[in-house]
Amino acid sequence: MTRSGGVGVSSPARSWIRHPVVIPVGAALLAVALLCGVGWVAVHEASSTVQRDAQARVRSNRDAAVRALAREMDDFKRTVATASESKVVIEGLRAPTPEGLSLMQDQLSAVARSQNSPAAFLSDTRGWNVAIFPVQTELIGKDFSFRDWFQGASRTGRPYVSSAYISAANGHPLVVGVSAPVFDGSRRAGYMSVLWQLESVRAVADGSHKDDDVTITVTDQRGQPLTSSLNVDDRGQPLQAPVSAATTQALAGRSVSTIHDGVLVAAGPVPGSGWTVTASQPASVGTARGDPGHGGPRARLVLGYAARTRKHPDAQPRASAESPTRRDTDVGVRWPRRPTPSADLACEVRERSAWF
């Protein structure tokens, strides 16, 4: 009978395959490969976690600034709303007299001082100035109907926080106007207004966030940043400013969190105002706090174990001196199966993963 042809295995190859170290070495190499794969996954997971944590910190700073601004706005609105209901103010607008004007000046002084404001003033239904504190006679009777505080309060019929502008009050401060309509019964008699300086706005926002390396930017309804300078026309009215994509989303009432040009950005609206707050931080700064190369515990655990296994691929627990020696005559004794390196790995990774 003729033996069919085929690919045979030479004697040296069969001898190499049957060598006693082949199976342990192969298992060790498989374990190392598995460890490398698990290590890569762990590092990738740690990096993603670091980025998510950094974005969460930026969002937290944004939310803190939003809450602080909303509280301060509510305080300003309550102040002008309460003052607008004053009998002195209502009667002074109904029938202006020198005596009534003096009483209104006292009322305006109290409002301005309570809010640390550079000025407080009363206007009639046309937007013409009736009284102002501190007194500026050149502004009495002047038409300010073009200001956003007047247009917003007259449109909504409620306390309103305006966009930013340069005031005609003493010193020409950079401000927003907070205004409330004054009602004489059901008839609208005028408007009570107080100025909120942009310096104070920025102090509220900057003082609220937790991380010094996060930048907070506040914009008004027009998307204009409330910074130390404004682009305005000859009346102090703001000119259109460039608006970022994140701010555009926030102006539309949506909160966003993203990475743009290597910067972590979180923007959102300030409820009830049309304003926005944007928190930003360089991604390199935000992620450095949790860099898995420096502080990722799971990555260090897996990679450290991988290094130890590569150094001692056949490392196994040693039997104690008191351990019995197995004999062929031992009957009924169940001997534990010697775990493979890959089984050791899976067990240790499962156990140590529970630490985190």
**What CATH number did the domain enclosing 167 receive?**
3.30.450.20
Which residues have C-beta within 8 Å of that of residue 198, sequence separation ≥ 6? Answer: 164, 173, 174, 175, 176, 226, 227, 228, 230
Q: Mean pLDDT across the chain, nearest whole number?
A: 80
Q: pLDDT category, 297, cuts 50, 70, 90? A: very low
The pLDDT of 93-117, averaged and rounded, is: 93
pLDDT of residue 228: 75
Torsion angles phi and psi, residue 132, rounded to 5: -150, 145
Q: pLDDT category, 13, cuts 50, 70, 90? A: low
The pLDDT of residue 304 is above 80: no
Judge contact between 211 and 281, C-beta under 8 A.
yes
Report the domain count for the chain: 1
Residue 117, in any domain of the structure = yes
Judge contact between 195 and 203, C-beta under 8 A.
no
Residue 145, in any domain of the structure = yes
Instruction: List the domain range (segments joined by +) for residue 115.
Output: 76-199
Residue 100, in any domain of the structure = yes
Residue 176, in any domain of the structure = yes
Per-residue pLDDT tens digits for 148-196: 999 999 999 999 999 999 999 999 999 999 999 999 999 999 999 999 9
Residue 333, in any domain of the structure = no
Q: Please tell me the pTM assigned to this model.
A: 0.69
The pLDDT of 99-106, averaged and rounded, is: 92
Per-residue pLDDT tens digits for 51-87: 789 999 999 999 999 999 999 999 999 999 999 999 9
Q: pLDDT category, 18, cuts 50, 70, 90? A: low
Residue 159, in any domain of the structure = yes
Task: Measure Cα distances from 229 to 175, 226, 234, 260 in Å.
Answer: 11, 8, 15, 25
Residue 114, in any domain of the structure = yes
Judge contact between 230 and 219, C-beta under 8 A.
no
Residue 343, in any domain of the structure = no
Quote the crossing angle between the two packed helices 22-84 and 98-114, to the nearest 10°.
160
Task: Measure Cα distances from 264 to 60, 213, 348 in Å.
Answer: 12, 12, 36
**Whole-number CA gyration radius for the chain:** 37
Q: With helix as H, strand as E and coil as C, how does 266-323 read?
A: EEEECCCCCCEEEEEEEHHHHHHCCCHHHHCHHHHHHHHHHHHHHHCCCCCCCCCCCC
